Amino acid sequence: MKKVLAGLAAAMALITPTLSQAEKLVIACGSVGMEKDLCTQGAQAWAKKTGHTVEIMSAPTDTSQELAQLQQLMAAGSTDLDVARIDIVWPGILANHFLDLKPYISEDVLKQHFPSIVQNNMVKGKLVAMPWFTDAGVLYYRKDLLEKHGQKPPTTWQELAQSAKVVLEAEKKAGNDKLVGLVFQGKSYEGLTCTAVEWLDSFGGGTIVDPQGKVTLNNPKAVEAVDFFASLVGTVVPRGVLSYEEEGARGAFQSGSAVFMRNWPYAWALANSKDSMVKGKVGVIALPKGGPDGKSTGTLGGWQLGVPKYSKNKELAVDLVKYLTSVEEQKRRAVVGSFNPTITSLYQDKELLAANPFFGSLYDTFINAVPRPTITGAKYNQVSTEFRNAVYATLSGNGKAADNLAKADAKLKALSKGGKW
Ligand code: GLC
């Protein structure tokens, strides 16, 4: 009898492997633009394929808040999250809480991705996360308005300000007094750090901390850059920008109220969607140079997927990460939502380039995007916060860049342990 029962149990186990092992995983999905829908669809497709279920944890739209939330979960050793989104500037901050993915991912798969991003995700020999999509700041402009008022797409920030003034004045005369010149991410959060790193780099003012770890923030070019943008607030740049995240800027631009916008590539698919007021009227180019001797540059952004080491379903979570970062999934997200793949071969894909022509024309901008100073490792977030507070104060009219950047520079030097971080 015992034998029969044991045999029966063994047979049952064979017949119902997926049923008895169906697990529920929790993945964090972003909330900016189409991110949540695309992430949910990808996760659901994996769930259908594997017989497991996936629950979505919505991340805040503000990346700085998202980091704080994730750090809290990780510090508590929470088992509530199986797959986490990791910003390109976070591996150095979060590495200790994540599984090393190296043993699970073949060399061939790793080789498909931009080597610099894979490198970025390695901390002390550990692969903290798999690249999911990359990002770089770009300039969106209204083709129709520039043409109508005899303006060319700008190559310098000064030209941009000049063109914006011409368009705004002419449109105002014609009764369109709602139009503004330039919108960007001006709220005091990580998005402003990205925006202002572009300003500094485009004027030749460095990137806060140099690649060797030396604090370089307080220099005349950086001061000039920040003062230049502060001088536009209230004229070319509306004051409201000081509370804009990505979606605030996109909302203004997509409703037809702005001539220029600094944003990430995701805004392209939405600006050209069915119900967009500016569908078909939008151009995308590299961000302008900070003057004739400046440089055209976009800040490197982008997201990775990792598995917290507290997950109770590590192997399955890795499988979900592999699925979501695969060629097929990255292609789908690029075609539908203009999220830049991290898989190099996809930049030759005809369907993808037809949906996003600027993935081809701005390829150099993407591969040469300027990194934020992650040499600062676990202290990156403090560095970013000091920097953007100084920029935000200047934009808001609280002091000049020379003083504000000098104070932030001194604090960073105190944090930096002589550049050793
Ligand atoms: C985008 C970028 C990310 C950056 C964030 C700032 O999501 O991909 O790297 O930190 O914007 O708002």
Name the strand (E) or helix (H) holding 2. Answer: helix 2-15
Query: What pLDDT is recorded for position 4?
Result: 53
Q: 87 CA to middle of ligand 1, Å? A: 7
Can you list the residues of the chain whose pLDDT is less than 50? 10-18
Q: Where are the beta strands (DSSP E) in 144-299?
A: 180-183, 258-263, 282-285
Closest ligand 1 atom to 88 CA: 9
Q: 191 CA to middle of ligand 1, Å? A: 6
Q: If you count DSSP H runs as helices and E runs as strands, how many of each does the chain have, helices first?
A: 20, 11
- C-alpha distances in angstroms, 392 versus 122, 180, 232, 381, 395? 32, 20, 13, 16, 5
Of residues 381, 382, 347, the one with CA closest to residue 361: 347
* Residue with CA at minimum distance from ligand 1 atom 3: 301
Closest ligand 1 atom to 302 CA: 8
Query: What pLDDT is recorded for position 3?
Result: 55
* Residue with CA at minimum distance from ligand 1 atom 12: 191
Indicate the top mutation candidate among 63, 184, 305 to test ligand 1's pocket, ranked by most ligand atoms within 8 A of CB: 63
| Residue ranges lining ligand 1, Cβ < 6 Å | 63, 87-88, 135, 190-191, 194, 246, 264, 301-303
Quote the pTM value.
0.94
What is the C-alpha to C-alpha distance for residues 376 and 15, in angstroms, rounded to an integer?
Answer: 53
Of residues 119, 121, 116, 120, the one with CA closest to residue 99: 121
- C-alpha distances in angstroms, 358 versus 26, 253, 343? 34, 18, 16
Q: What angle do CA 299, 278, 260 make, to 5 degrees?
A: 40
In this structure, are residues 156 and 292 in contact, taking their beta carbons and an 8 Å threshold? yes
Closest ligand 1 atom to 264 CA: 1
DSSP-derived 3-state class of residue 298: coil
* Residue with CA at minimum distance from ligand 1 atom 9: 301
Query: What pLDDT is recorded for position 2?
Result: 53
Q: 4 CA to middle of ligand 1, Å? A: 60
Q: 15 CA to middle of ligand 1, Å? A: 46
In this structure, are residues 71 and 63 in contact, taking their beta carbons and an 8 Å threshold? no
Indicate the top mutation candidate among 87, 188, 243, 305 to test ligand 1's pocket, ranked by most ligand atoms within 8 A of CB: 87
**Please, what's the b/e burial string for 2-37 (b: 16 or more CB within 10 A of its CB; e: otherwise)?**
eeeeeeeeeeeeeeeeeeeeeeebbbbbbebbbbee
Of residues 380, 297, 392, the one with CA closest to residue 123: 380
Indicate the top mutation candidate among 264, 299, 338, 372 to test ligand 1's pocket, ranked by most ligand atoms within 8 A of CB: 264
Q: What is the pLDDT of residues 58-72, one digit of tens each?
A: 999 999 999 999 999
Q: 63 CA to middle of ligand 1, Å? A: 7
Query: What pLDDT is recorded for position 94?
Result: 98
- C-alpha distances in angstroms, 401 versus 196, 207, 220, 373, 405? 12, 15, 10, 20, 6
Domains in the chain: ranges and CATH: 10-134+302-365 (3.40.190.10), 138-299+371-416 (3.40.190.10)
Q: What is the pLDDT of residues 173-196, one digit of tens each?
A: 999 999 999 999 999 999 999 999
* Encoded amino acid at 73, one letter: L
Estimate the share of the chain in helix, then strand, then coil, as percent rounded to the nearest 5: 50, 15, 30
What is the C-alpha to C-alpha distance for residues 215 and 197, in angstroms, rounded to an integer?
Answer: 14
Determine the angle formed by the axes of helices 220-232 and 401-416, rounding to 10 degrees.
Answer: 130
Q: 302 CA to middle of ligand 1, Å? A: 6
Q: What is the pLDDT of residues 244-267, one digit of tens each?
A: 999 999 999 999 999 999 999 999
Please state whether beta strands 126-127 and 122-123 pair in parallel, antiparallel, or not at all (unpaired). antiparallel
- Burial of residue 371 (number of CB atoms within 10 Å: 0-12, 13-18, 19+): middle
